[in-house]
């Protein structure tokens, strides 16, 4: 509980409000969850709606989603005093709690992602189980392929059918997974900063833009590492997708704030002072500043029809700004909502510690784990269909 020593407050606050129960770790949890949902949506756009321009990143997006979802529970487990009791929420659920549903949503979606990735990379696993460079490699891929060896057109058509229906189920599941996180906050009536019917929708849209932004950054980097040309049509389509969903996200976030002031909710004067004071840097400067900055960059990219290096560079800058904006949005929801006292007559200030279980180093370390896992998984299961990365014969694709 090192973060207790980093609290200060002004005005009237209850004694139990001088400690923020949810720290930076709980900010990381919805952030990684959003990356999962957003990356999956891009993959589903290709699979369900046959948007061919997303083909170069479709399998990569699935792999990104899988590597991210594995680490979704990590910040929650670290935050718990007794993480070994986490399964109790599933074994003895308390159905009046919104939190109990996370275990079931998370388990279902994790299984779905594992199965979809298995069907996606089964041809590669089968090929490597027969033509691997070593007995260890062949044994590993034989286990992964579950002994499957059939790469006939009939078997591949069967796989495609499964992939289609998994995407059909997975798209609403992805929206439901992250919409549920927004519901958890939006259903808390005791805090005006959280209590909003728009919260689930904003969380879904912010998930889509964060996943798209991550792919916009990772795809050119992967091409550079593989020494292959970037598919500019795909990169531009990702940028346009990010541009459209970013507009919707910023509009809804603005409407949410405007409705609070228009309805003159209780304690709005303190909330205004809070935005102008302790929350100004994280909310106005970082969240809205990065969001509007990304909007300007993407608008310029689309209007002036950027090409080549300009397209890649501007889209990556916009992607970085969007990832920052979404993270700060999560920060301002989780931390900001707790910094406004329940009496609405006092404000707290939380300065996260650098070290310790709840510190910034641990939270930052958790954010790097999916990228480390992705670098390993991409070597084991190449998600790109180019000569430098794909060892599977054309018939196996």
pLDDT of residue 81: 79
**Is it the case that residue 386 has pLDDT exceeding 60?**
no
pLDDT in tens, 158-209: 999 999 999 999 888 888 877 888 888 877 766 777 777 788 889 999 999 9
CB 251 within 8 A of CB 244: no
User: Judging by beta carbons within 10 Å of its beta carbon (0-12, 13-18, 19+), is residue 199 exposed, middle or buried?
Assistant: buried
pLDDT in tens, 287-318: 999 999 999 999 999 999 889 999 999 999 99
DSSP state of 348: E
Give the chain's length. Answer: 397
CATH superfamily of 2-396: Formate dehydrogenase/DMSO reductase domain (1.20.1630.10)
DSSP characters for 76-95?
Answer: HHHHSS-GGGTTHHHHS--T
Question: Would you kindly state where each structural domain of the chain is located, as residue ranges?
Answer: 2-396
CA-to-CA separations, 349 to 23, 326, 354, in angstroms, rounded: 12, 21, 16
**Weakest mean pLDDT among 59-68, 113-122, 321-330, 380-389:** 380-389
Given its phi and psi angles, is residue 262 left (phi above 0), alpha (psi -120 to 50 degrees) or beta? alpha
Give the mean pLDDT of 272-289. Answer: 83
**Is it the case that residue 219 has pLDDT exceeding 70?**
yes
**Is it the case that residue 15 has pLDDT exceeding 50?**
yes
Question: What pLDDT band is residue 396 in, cutting at 50, 70 and 90?
Answer: very low
pLDDT of residue 236: 95
pTM score of the predicted model? 0.88
pLDDT of residue 11: 63
Crossing angle for the helix pair 232-262 and 24-49, to the nearest 10 degrees: 130
Beta bridge partners of 346: 11
Give the mean pLDDT of 336-342. Answer: 76
pLDDT of residue 80: 83
pLDDT in tens, 86-135: 788 788 887 777 777 778 888 899 999 999 999 999 999 999 998 888 99
**Is it the case that residue 346 has pLDDT exceeding 60?**
yes
Instruction: For strands 7-11 and 346-350, give the pairing.
Output: antiparallel
pLDDT in tens, 244-265: 999 999 999 998 888 777 766 6
Beta bridge partners of 349: 8
d(CA 175, CA 306): 31
pLDDT of residue 389: 40
């Amino acid at each position: 509980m090192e973060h207790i020593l980093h609290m200060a407050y002004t005005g009237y606050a209850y004694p139990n409000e001088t400690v923020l129960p949810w720290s930076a770790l709980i900010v990381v949890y919805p952030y990684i969850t959003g990356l999962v949902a957003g990356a999956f949506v891009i993959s589903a756009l290709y699979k369900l709606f046959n948007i061919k321009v997303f083909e170069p990143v479709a399998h990569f997006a699935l792999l990104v989603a899988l590597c991210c979802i594995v680490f979704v529970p990590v910040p929650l487990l670290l935050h718990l005093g007794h993480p070994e009791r986490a399964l109790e929420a599933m074994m003895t659920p308390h159905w009046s709690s919104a939190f109990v549903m996370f275990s079931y949503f998370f388990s279902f979606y994790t299984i779905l992602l594992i199965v979809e990735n298995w069907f996606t990379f089964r041809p590669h696993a089968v090929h490597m189980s027969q033509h691997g460079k070593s007995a260890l490699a062949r044994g590993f891929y034989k286990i992964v392929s579950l002994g499957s060896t059939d790469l006939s057109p009939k078997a591949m058509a069967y796989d495609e059918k499964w992939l289609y229906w998994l995407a059909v189920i997975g798209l609403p599941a992805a929206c439901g997974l992250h919409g549920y996180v927004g519901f958890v906050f939006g259903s808390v009536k005791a805090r005006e900063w959280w209590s909003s019917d728009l919260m689930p929708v904003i969380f879904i849209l912010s998930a889509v833009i964060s996943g798209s932004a991550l792919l916009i950054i990772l795809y050119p980097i992967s091409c550079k590492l593989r020494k292959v040309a970037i598919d500019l049509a795909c990169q531009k389509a990702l940028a346009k997708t990010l541009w459209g969903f970013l507009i919707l996200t910023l509009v809804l976030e603005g409407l949410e704030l405007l409705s609070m002031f228009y309805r003159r909710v209780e304690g709005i004067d303190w909330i205004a002072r809070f935005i102008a004071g302790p929350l100004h840097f994280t909310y106005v400067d970082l969240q809205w500043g990065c969001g509007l900055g990304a909007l300007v960059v993407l608008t310029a990219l689309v209007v002036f029809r950027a090409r080549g290096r300009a397209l890649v560079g501007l889209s990556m800058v916009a992607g970085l700004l969007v990832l920052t904006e979404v993270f700060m949005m999560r920060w301002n929801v989780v931390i900001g909502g707790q910094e406004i006292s329940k009496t609405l007559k006092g404000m707290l200030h939380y300065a996260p510690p650098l070290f310790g279980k709840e510190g910034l180093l641990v939270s930052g370390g958790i954010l790097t784990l999916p990228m480390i896992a992705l670098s390993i998984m991409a070597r084991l299961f190449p998600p790109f269909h180019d000569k430098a990365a794909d060892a599977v014969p054309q018939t196996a694709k």
